[in-house]
Amino acid sequence: MNAAGYFKILADETRLRIVNVLLKHELNVGELVQVMGMSQPRISRHLKILAQAGLVEARRDGLRAFYRCVVAGPGRDFLDKTAGLFAAEAEAGRDIAAAERLVAERARAARRFFDSIAGDWNGLSREVLGGFDLASEILGRVPSCGAAADLGCGPGDLLARLRDRAGLVVGVDSSSRMLEMAAARLGADKSGFSLRIGDLSHLPLRDQEVDCAVMSMVLHHLFIPRAALDEAARVLRPGGTLVVADLDKHELEDMRSQYGDHRLGFERAELVGLLQGAGFQVRDVSEFSVNKGLRVLLCEAERSRGRADRP
């Protein structure tokens, strides 16, 4: 489609508003209904037109579909050249504010969920992993170093064992209850440990503060996994190691309610692509079968020495 065709599609105010929101957030139809204050059939009709025009794409995740502006191709080239014009529209600021309120409430709901199930977390993990010793597999990929971070540390299963690899171990989680449990597990002597509360998309660590980082069964809980990987790259020194363990793509919808999963895992190529996009060189990907017919992907990656850090 040429420029005239794209402009014709976006001459409709509703479609222009939808694109403006989806340039910044990935949302499902129900969430767009809340943001835009319109009926679901109306939103769905405009999404279909935008998708046919190559401006919007759907990410299928089990029974759900999440929409975003296309990330590549002619449609993306057009949006990159014209997106600055959209913010001048009368409803643009209101729509973005509504979307950001919705995303913030998502995060608050996730924190409440993990606070509520913190005491049962180890049992829930065993239901998925069974007898598979994921911690040992992760530790086998963590080099000896000055400082290591467990990003999304939960109740602290890995923290004490990481202390054998690093002089300082930083544990980060967004759930205050999880961090309380991690502190109790470490006991009275917490020398060499630093527990910090914070969102994984805005880590409470300095640039290049650690030599190694771990993200164990975390990414599928996040609304924007790439933001967390960008932050992991920021806090790692050039050449530092990131170990990521997560679920392979599956179709078990009940895991959303039982375990707080936002995504039903990642295809191997998708996970590798996310890591590469965040500035990592993937050294190895291993696959392990666990309970419920699920598989765990374990990725070892290196923070590129030539990565251009974001300001």
159 burial class (0-12, 13-18, 19+ CB within 10 angstroms)? buried
Q: Over range 126-136, report the average pLDDT.
A: 93
Domains of the chain by range and CATH? 3-90 (1.10.10.10), 120-303 (3.40.50.150)
pLDDT band of residue 309 (cuts 50, 70, 90) is low
> In this predicted structure, what is the pLDDT of residue 310?
47
Q: Over range 13-20, report the average pLDDT.
A: 93
The closest alpha carbon to 151, from 76, 82, 232, belongs to 232
Q: Over range 173-195, report the average pLDDT.
A: 93
pLDDT band of residue 311 (cuts 50, 70, 90) is very low
* Euclidean distance between CA atoms 90 and 17, whole angstroms: 10
> In this predicted structure, what is the pLDDT of residue 90?
67
Tokens for 242, please give them: 């990131």
Q: Check whether 190 has a pLDDT greater than 70.
A: yes
- Phi, psi (rounded to 5 degrees) for 259: -120, 5
Model pTM? 0.83
* Distance set, CA 243 to CA 37, 219, 281 (Å): 42, 12, 12
The closest alpha carbon to 202, from 224, 169, 179, 178, belongs to 224
pLDDT in tens, 220-230: 999 889 999 99
Mean of the per-residue pLDDT values of the chain: 92
* Euclidean distance between CA atoms 174 and 65, whole angstroms: 26
> In this predicted structure, what is the pLDDT of residue 258?
87
pLDDT in tens, 132-159: 999 999 999 999 999 999 999 999 999 9
> In this predicted structure, what is the pLDDT of residue 285?
97
pLDDT in tens, 51-67: 999 999 999 888 889 99
